[in-house]
């Protein structure tokens, strides 16, 4: 028997999550059966979608049950294998969640090469966030050379990849981020053409000045006031891949004020906009092999850079997750567990 430390959903949050919504437990795991592997978690990914899984509201995926282990992608080491395709010591991409050990079907994990790139990148730029950027931008946004692409949450793992891919495709890229440090990173290190601080008192005016020819693609990660500033600047036939709405994730009721849906529909109609929500998994069969080939090459030749915000210790996952939802992270949040 192996004892696993795990963090479970203690209660469903009302509004922003708090530490009281999480509980740490230990549990004994059974030995792996034929076709299974015993895993030791090395890294845990923290991502905004997890906030939705804490809610019982109907969504694209079932919620975490109260008392259930919080979900999440992991990089893990195989410490016992009952499948010939994997051996003890192999490093794999798994979906073990917020726990130190797990027993999983061997067919549900993907073997990684620790000598190629840091294995933590399988949770970020070479994993779900990177593929979200790649698939949403290229399938829905379809940027063309000379067009203007605006991306919200531009210093995060999805937004930073979106902007760099758009630059590779020949577009002019404007990133929106929170604070001077993140804006400097987006502009000076990632090579965006401009970076606008959404916390600046003149944010709307700065954004208008940064897109003199309007916006052809807006990659939506945020919603809220950022979207309010962007939408009047969209060009005819602009494309809007809707990846996330983090500004609304902690909302506990209907927003106050008038119903703005008719105006939103009116803008879609009069400007012939394409607005499409998506979940990256719908593009995996079609695009994932191309993504791994392209993104690996872009990282190798320096055209795509990435940043990780490493947190040490599984016990710090709740605090890091809450901070990520508040925008306190800088880069892809990864918990170093093992």
Q: How many CA atoms lie less than 13 Å away from 18 in the CB half-sphere?
A: 5
Is position 320 within any domain? Answer: yes
Is position 214 within any domain? Answer: yes
Is position 256 within any domain? Answer: yes
How many structural domains comprise the chain?
2
**141 shares its domain with 260:** yes
Q: How many CA atoms lie less than 13 Å away from 33 in the CB half-sphere?
A: 2
Is position 286 within any domain? Answer: no
Residues 6+ apart with CB under 8 A from 305: 160, 164, 189, 190, 299
Q: Which two tokens stand for residue 115?
A: 């000598």
**148 shares its domain with 243:** yes
**109 shares its domain with 206:** no
For residue 79, give its domain range: 2-122+307-336
Q: pTM of the predicted model, to two decimals?
A: 0.91
**326 shares its domain with 253:** no
3-state helix, strand and coil shares in percent for the chain, rounded to the nearest 5: 35, 25, 40
Is position 75 within any domain? Answer: yes
- Helix (H/G/I), strand (E/B), else coil: 45: strand
7 beta partners: 24
- Given 240, 266, 281, the domain boundary residue is 281
338 residues of the chain, pLDDT tens digit each: 799 999 999 999 999 999 999 999 999 999 999 999 999 999 999 999 999 999 998 888 899 999 999 999 999 999 999 999 999 999 999 999 999 999 999 999 999 999 999 999 999 999 999 999 999 999 999 999 999 999 999 999 999 999 999 999 999 999 999 999 999 999 999 999 999 999 999 999 999 999 999 999 999 999 999 999 999 999 999 999 999 887 666 665 666 777 778 888 999 999 999 999 999 999 999 999 999 999 999 999 999 999 999 999 999 999 999 999 998 999 999 999 98
**31 shares its domain with 49:** yes
Distance (Å, rounded) from C-alpha 282 to C-alpha 239? 18
Assess contact for 88 and 289: CB atoms under 8 A. Answer: no
Which CATH number characterizes residue 330's domain?
3.90.180.10
Distance (Å, rounded) from C-alpha 312 to C-alpha 333? 11
Is position 142 within any domain? Answer: yes
Assess contact for 26 and 34: CB atoms under 8 A. Answer: no
Closest C-alpha to 215, from 187, 239, 186: 239
Distance (Å, rounded) from C-alpha 52 to C-alpha 185? 29
**19 shares its domain with 140:** no
Task: Count CB-CB contacts under 10 A for residue 1.
Answer: 8
Residues 6+ apart with CB under 8 A from 151: 159, 162, 163, 166, 173, 174, 175, 176, 218, 219, 221
Residues 6+ apart with CB under 8 A from 55: 12, 13, 63
Which CATH number characterizes residue 173's domain?
3.40.50.720
Distance (Å, rounded) from C-alpha 87 to C-alpha 120? 20
Is position 176 within any domain? Answer: yes
């Amino acid at each position: 028997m192996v004892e696993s430390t795990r963090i479970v959903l203690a209660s469903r949050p009302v509004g922003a999550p708090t530490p009281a919504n999480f509980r740490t437990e230990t549990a004994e795991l059974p030995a792996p059966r034929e076709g299974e592997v015993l895993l030791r978690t090395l890294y845990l990914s923290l991502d905004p979608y997890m906030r939705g899984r804490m809610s019982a509201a109907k969504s694209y995926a079932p919620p975490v049950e109260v008392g259930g282990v919080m979900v999440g992608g992991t990089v893990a080491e195989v410490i016992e294998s009952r499948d010939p395709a994997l051996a003890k010591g192999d490093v794999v991409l798994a979906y073990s969640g917020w726990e130190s050990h797990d027993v999983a079907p061997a067919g549900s994990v993907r073997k990684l090469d620790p000598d190629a790139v840091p294995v933590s990148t399988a949770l970020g730029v070479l994993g779900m966030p990177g593929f979200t950027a790649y698939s949403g931008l290229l399938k829905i946004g379809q940027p063309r050379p000379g067009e203007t692409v605006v991306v919200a949450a531009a210093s995060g793992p999805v937004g930073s990849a979106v902007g760099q891919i758009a630059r590779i495709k020949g577009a002019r890229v404007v990133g929106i981020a929170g604070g001077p440090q993140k804006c400097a990173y987006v502009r000076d290190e990632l090579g965006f053409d401009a970076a606008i601080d959404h916390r600046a008192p003149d944010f709307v005016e700065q954004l208008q000045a940064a897109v003199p020819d309007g916006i052809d693609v807006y990659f939506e990660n945020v919603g809220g006031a950022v979207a309010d500033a962007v939408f009047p600047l969209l060009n005819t036939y602009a494309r809007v891949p809707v990846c996330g709405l983090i500004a609304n994730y902690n909302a506990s009721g209907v927003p106050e004020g008038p119903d703005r849906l008719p105006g939103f529909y009116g803008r879609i109609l009069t400007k012939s906009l394409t607005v499409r929500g998506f979940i990256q998994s719908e593009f995996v069969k079609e695009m994932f092999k191309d993504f791994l080939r392209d993104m690996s090459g872009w990282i190798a030749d320096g055209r795509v850079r990435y940043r990780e915000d490493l947190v040490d210790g599984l016990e710090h996952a709740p605090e890091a997750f809450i901070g990520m939802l508040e925008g306190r992270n800088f880069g892809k949040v990864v918990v170093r567990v093992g």
